[in-house]
Amino acid sequence: MAKDYYKILGVSKNASQDEIKKAYRKLARKWHPDINPGDEKAEKKFKDISEAHNALGNAEKRKLYDEFGAEGLQAGFNAEQAREYKKWQSFGGGAGTRSRAGGGQGFGQYQSYEDVFGDLFGFGGEGGGPQGFSSGRQRTTKGRDLEHEMTIDMMSALRGFETELSMRKARACDRCSGSGDDPSSSVSTCASCGGTGRMNVGDGPMNFTKICPECGGAGQSRATCPQCKGAGQTTGVEKIRVAIPKGVKEGAKVRVSGKGEPGAGGGPPGDLFLVVHIKPHPLLKREGDDLHIDVPVTIHEAMAGGTATVPTVDGQVNLKIPAGSQSGKTLKLKGKGAVNTKTKARGDLLAHLLVRPPKTDADDALKAAETLEGYYKEDVRKDLRL
């Protein structure tokens, strides 16, 4: 029975992408194998949740799933050809053509559409094999790209780091190396075409032939790989080493080459794109490549000047405070901001001074503050108007 990914995540079919993301995160925290060590039920549940999020968390994949079901997410699936085939079927197509053994019409490797139109209209005619056998030739296609969200703190984003991710994803079958054939089986003559590699198409005054869909024109067939059932792929946990560059921004995509879905028919794998989210920092704020930080100073430091120790991405530095500084004055530490991932240039660190009076009700402190009142030459709120 086909899995209902919406039901697995507990969301409706018209749920927003944010709702899907929230549902996945909530369930992933509950069923993650690290939280439920040794629990096979939790491991299976987490696998289903990850599979559902992989399909629905990506807008493009979700459209394919809504239109074609899980089969639309198979490697090598061609939506346009599948739609054309359905259109052809709606007009009574298929009469007089020789059907595939097993009766299945799997769009994942273009079998049904190309079985009918392959040689007639130049679509290649390379199909899959019957149940228990795989084709002698398989269309080579690049694997799909994958997206994976990760959340990091701002200091890690500014400094860059390397980490290892554990992802549950499709990968090339270890037993057959992605071919779908059982490597231990012997090669036999294709029973459908008698070893010729071609079959007649349709009945009538004109004879047409096409490449045999059972053997892909090879005239031979082999038993299907028992581990992947001929798909050439299995699902498992893969550990991936990734490097997050210095200065990565919120929402940036970090590309990890060759770590997407495996290709079909020996095709190259897709890429993995890590979508980076950055947690807010309690002290730092980023604007472009510049960083902003509030630096508290005493009344004496603001009036007489001084030096304040300020933390930066590279460590602590001394900031010179000019005499007569007002609260809100901005001082620039050049080159102490974020790294631009494209140009490698660095922004600045902008320190905003905040004059902080002492928290005390001592009589001598209050008298000193009263004395300071006499030194104001104008109303400090004279410009405070709407």
Distances (CA, A) of 335 to 88, 115, 250, 332, 345: 64, 63, 21, 9, 8
Residues 6+ apart with CB under 8 A from 169: 54, 146, 235, 236, 238, 261
Is residue 36 exposed (0-12), middle (13-18) or buried (19+ Cβ within 10 Å)? middle
CATH of domain 285-373: 2.60.260.20
Identical fold for domains 74-278 and 285-373, yes or no, is yes
The secondary structure of 318-372, three-state, reads EEEECCCCCCCCEEEECCCCCECCCCCCECCEEEEEEECCCCCCCHHHHHHHHHH
pLDDT for 139 equals: 57
Between CA 33 and CA 44 the distance in angstroms is: 9
pLDDT for 74 equals: 74
Report domain extents, the chain: 74-278, 285-373
Domain 74-278: what homologous superfamily? Answer: Urease metallochaperone UreE, N-terminal domain (2.60.260.20)
- Residues shown for the chain: 386
Residues 6+ apart with CB under 8 A from 111: 100, 104, 105, 127, 128, 213
Between CA 48 and CA 58 the distance in angstroms is: 16
Nearest to 247 by CA among 337, 346, 339, 162: 339
Between CA 1 and CA 94 the distance in angstroms is: 26
Taken in order 321, 322, 324, 325, the sign of the CA dihedral is: negative
| 320 token code pair | 């010179």
Phi, psi dihedral angles at 108 (to 5 degrees): -55, -35
Residues 6+ apart with CB under 8 A from 106: 71, 74, 112, 128
Q: What is the CA radius of gyration of the chain?
A: 32
- Tell me the residue type at 316: Q
pLDDT for 108 equals: 40
Nearest to 147 by CA among 253, 24, 28: 253
pLDDT for 124 equals: 43
pLDDT for 209 equals: 66
Distances (CA, A) of 258 to 133, 176, 242, 265, 271: 29, 19, 12, 16, 5
Phi, psi dihedral angles at 367 (to 5 degrees): -65, -40
268-282 residues labelled b (16+ CB within 10 A) or e (exposed):
ebbbbbbebebeeee
pLDDT for 95 equals: 42
Q: Is the pTM of this model over 0.85?
A: no
Collect the ranges in the chain with pLDDT lower than 70: 1, 75-76, 84-140, 201-209, 214, 216, 265-266
| 77 token code pair | 């699936």
